[in-house]
Amino acid sequence: MKEKKISVVITILFMCGCLLACKTEKTNYTDQTNSENVTEAQVLNDSSTKTQESDTNDQLNMEERSDVENDSAIEKQSDVENDSAIEEQSDVENDSAIEEQADEKMNSDTEELQQIHLVMVGDILLHTRVSESAHLPDGSYDYNPIFSNTSDVIEAADLALVNEEVIIGGEELGVSGYPAFNAPYEIGDALVQNGFDVILHATNHAVDKGKKGLHNCMSFWQEHYPDIEVLGIHDSQEDQNTIYYYEQNGMKIAILNYTYGTNGISLPSDMPWSVDLLEKDKVIADLKEAESKADFTIVCPHWGTEYNLGISSEQKKWAQIFVENGADLVIGTHPHVIEPIEWYEDEKNDNSALIFYSIGNYVNWTGGAGAGTANRMVGGMADVTLVQEDGKVKIGEYTVHALVSHLENGTGNVSTYFLRDYNTELASKNEIIKQDVSFSYDYCVNLCNEVWENWE
């Protein structure tokens, strides 16, 4: 019985243990399941969170990258635009600079191509006392002081002409003054050194020393200054038949030089072509040829009446011949005093010319005395600018610069001044007062006002 009870108790305990074990296992399974569910949820949540975070990060990264790319693109675009702007500005500045340079060059070229500035002075009249002033202790001559006060204007001109009144025969023929002049070669040196380009030798004193004087003069120029143009005297018929043309920047200018005579002295019999004379047929033929070949023609006649402040009938006759046959500018010498300046109109041939009837002496120390002698101290420098317009060359501007011969004793004390640079004090020292007491600075000014309407 006791054993049966024990068996029953053991059975009951066994059954209770099984029930307890089942419950525990169920609980463990539930917990495990819940734990797994929780873990899976956490994983899912973590995964979702991570995905969300990843998406957010990706979005942020994309936004940041986009911002960076945008900023980079903007910076690049800005850089490109700035570079482009700088390049454009640089190109504009370069183009502008190039255009300005081109304009300056064009203006410079145009100005150079369109203009020729010429000047001319009157008689280099070497009276004895002028040459004595130039005579140095060593026996040589220096005429440069005569030109020292005007040479800057002479040298600045494109073309400078001078009327060399006296023949340059050299010392071997004897240096002499009035009435049969002869100059040493040093006067030729001084003319060149002070800027003259064209020497006019057709004067009434051209044959004062005969054939030898002509030969010496021409040889001097040919041997020492072959580039200087000498007009009015010739060493051959061929040379006389050849008209001189000055060419500059596409403009061609003819220059002709004649004298009314040679003081009654005949030309050498074997040299009838040695001096250019005012012979109507010859003059007209030269003018016709010049008209056919040149753009502009200048005539430099040695004409008129000595010491006459007006215009002679002979000058009027020749002025008509010159202008009717194509002359555009006439600059006269010989009267030893100044004469009017005027335009001469040739309506028949539709031509006009500017005429300086006489520009007087450049330098002189006349032996004359009395009233009117002072007039010989005043001369003029013709100043003309030629311009090229529409294929034609014409006179653009012109004036005359008043000059005065200043005379003092002593070496190097004869000099020519622009009247604008002269003054009362200098005039009071001029030795010509001893020959004409009326000479003064005011006298010179009044004379210019009387003869010329406008002057400088």
| Rg of the chain over all Cα atoms, to the nearest angstrom | 53
H or E segment to which residue 138 belongs: none
Concatenating the DSSP letter of every residue in 44-60 gives HHHHHHHHHHHHHHHHH
Residues 325-367 have pLDDT tens digits of 999 999 999 999 999 999 999 988 889 999 999 999 999 999 9
Does the pTM surpass 0.85? The reply is: no
Q: Which pLDDT value is given to residue 383?
A: 98
Q: What is the pLDDT along the chain (456 residues), one digit of tens a residue?
A: 333 333 433 333 344 343 333 333 433 333 333 333 333 333 223 333 333 344 434 443 444 444 434 444 434 444 444 455 445 555 545 555 545 554 554 444 444 548 999 999 999 999 999 999 999 999 999 999 999 999 999 999 999 999 999 999 999 999 999 999 999 999 999 999 999 999 999 999 999 999 999 999 999 999 999 999 999 999 999 999 999 999 998 999 999 999 999 999 999 999 999 999 999 999 999 999 999 999 999 999 999 999 999 999 999 999 999 999 999 999 999 999 999 999 999 988 889 999 999 999 999 999 999 999 999 999 999 999 999 998 899 999 999 999 999 999 999 999 999 999 999 999 999 999 999 999 999 999 999 999 999 999
Q: Which of 285, 308, 337 is nearest to 316 (CA)?
A: 308
Cβ–Cβ under 8 Å, residues 423 and 445: no
Q: What sign results for the dihedral spanned by CA atoms 300, 306, 309, 310?
A: negative
Q: Which pLDDT value is given to residue 398?
A: 98
Buried b (16+ CB within 10 A) or exposed e, 408-440: eeeebebbbbebeebeeeebeebebeebbeebe
H helix intervals, 115-134 = 128-134
**Cα 226 to Cα 199: distance, rounded to the nearest angstrom:** 12
**Cα 376 to Cα 300: distance, rounded to the nearest angstrom:** 20
In the chain, where are the structural domains located? 115-451
Please give the C-alpha separations between residue 253 and each of 74, 278, 326, 392, 453, in angstroms, as whole numbers: 69, 20, 12, 12, 28
Q: Which pLDDT value is given to residue 63?
A: 43
If one looks up domain 115-451 in CATH, what number appears? Answer: 3.60.21.10
Q: Which of 153, 186, 152, 182 is nearest to 169 (CA)?
A: 182
* Token pair in block for residue 378: 């005043």
In one letter, which amino acid is 272? P
Residues 200-226 have pLDDT tens digits of 999 999 999 999 999 999 999 999 999
Residues 147-196 have pLDDT tens digits of 999 999 999 999 999 999 999 999 999 999 999 999 999 999 999 999 99
